Amino acid sequence: MKKIVLGFAALVAAQPAFAQDQAAAVSFSGARIEARVGLDHPTISLEATDGVDSIDESVGKSGIAYGGEIGFDAMMSINSFAGVYAGVEGASTKECTEVYGGDEACLKAGRNFTAGVRGGFVLGTSTALYAKGGYSNGRVRITYEDPAFPEDNFDLGDNLDGFHVGAGVEFSRGRFYGKLEYAYTNYGDYEYEDEDLGAALDLDRHQVVAGVGLRF
């Protein structure tokens, strides 16, 4: 009888810790939707030639990224979780520069689609650290105008496939959460060629964003 009483007492004493673990599991699992905004810093390297003149320009410019994300997370253990997500964002980032004198080359980062997986660890009951990675598809536009030689003008816009990796910290308050996240995206090399123009483009970007969201 004494062993039974002691065992029951130990079980009762363990209930607060068990409840705490369950709170952590609930806080970081389920479907979610969020809004996000932050700093966007793409770097675009462009080499272009029409057979006579050439451009070799690398531009880095900071702007604002804004968008949203949906996802679903599931607890893998008491203190770890994994999930999937998809997002879309726009950017205000645009840079124009003079190449030779009197001309202008402009590089603009457009909308960006993302999809990937993430996983992390719960610290206590309200904070989690996570890493993420997956597919990106970004829109970029490049224009060049030379009033003296309008035959050299061009306007290119295309969608670029790439990948992203990142990490962040997330804070949960019941059904609501906030996060701070860093992500690096690389869109690889892009080449364009027609009878008048050949161009090679390399684009990557660094982002630091804050998000607020709701779990269902």
Note down pLDDT in tens along the chain; length 216 residues.
Answer: 444 333 433 433 444 443 444 444 456 899 999 999 999 988 877 676 666 666 666 667 788 999 999 999 999 998 999 999 999 999 887 777 776 677 887 777 788 999 999 999 999 888 999 999 999 998 888 787 888 878 778 787 778 899 999 999 999 998 999 999 999 999 877 666 666 666 677 788 899 999 999 999
pLDDT at 66: 95
CA 120 to chain centroid: 16
User: In CATH, which of 2.40.160.20, 1.10.340.30, 3.40.190.10, 3.30.1330.40 is domain 2-215?
Assistant: 2.40.160.20
Spatial separation of the C-alpha atoms in residues 67 and 87, rounded to whole Å: 7
Predicted confidence at residue 9, as pLDDT, reads: 38
Domain ranges for the chain, please list them.
2-215
Per-residue model confidence (pLDDT) at position 21: 47
> What pLDDT, on the 0 to 100 scale, is given for residue 214?
96
Backbone angles phi, psi at 150, to 5 degrees: -60, -20
Confidence at residue 58, expressed as pLDDT on a 0 to 100 scale: 66
Burial of 49 (0-12, 13-18, 19+ CB in 10 A): middle
CB-based burial, 10-37: b 16+ in 10 Å, e otherwise:
eeeeeeeeeeebeebbebbbeebebebe
- pLDDT of amino acid 5: 33
Query: What pLDDT shows up at residue 193?
Result: 67
